[in-house]
Structure 1
Amino acid sequence: MGGDPQGVFVLRVEAVAGPDNSEPDGRRHAILVFALAATPEAAEAVARAGLDQRGWIDTRVLSSGEITDEDAVPQDLRGAMARAKASGCALIVYEAP
């Protein structure tokens, strides 16, 4: 790494639970992905890799942005943000898009 500062980005995506997913229902889900990266492009790559690793397919990134004020992150999302800081990527999966 070139020493670029890493930030946490949040990406709003939709993806299908594929055959390698822990619950391979074949349905499209709304997902918030928290990704540790230096740039928006790197965050999308981290998010896609994390989704692929967990069996999500046909991923569509709808929007993304860097978290610049961690205190503004709602309490119920802070665990995912902390997991992304620790492991690079964390997901919150919702039932329907």
Structure 2
Amino acid sequence: MIRHHDCYEVACDTPDCDMWATSEHETPLFDSPEEAIGYVVAAGGSHIDGFLRCHQCAAAHQCEQDGHEWGAGELLPGVSTIRQRCERCLEDRLLAMA
């Protein structure tokens, strides 16, 4: 038997973001827009003013608004450089040691 189902698929509203590209799972489908939005928000994404962002884009947007939350950093072997990573969006920066 073949049945037709109407369903909803989530896509991040950030241009050029394929939120499922690195996922090991198939793209989930939902029965309602509210269920799809709830899934994204529960996974760390955001839904603000009708704009839906996956967790990575939501973190990057928050850092654009509030600045990064830099971690303690790690000394890179063989060079006088420290690598710091943002605790929220995972962006890296290198700092030269004095």
Higher strand share: 1
Band of TM-score, shorter chain: under 0.3
Higher helix share: 1
Task: Give the TM-score normalised by structure 2.
Answer: 0.25
Task: Give the TM-score normalised by structure 1.
Answer: 0.26
Which structure carries more relative contact order (alpha carbon 8 Å, separation 6+)? 1
Which is greater in Rg?
2
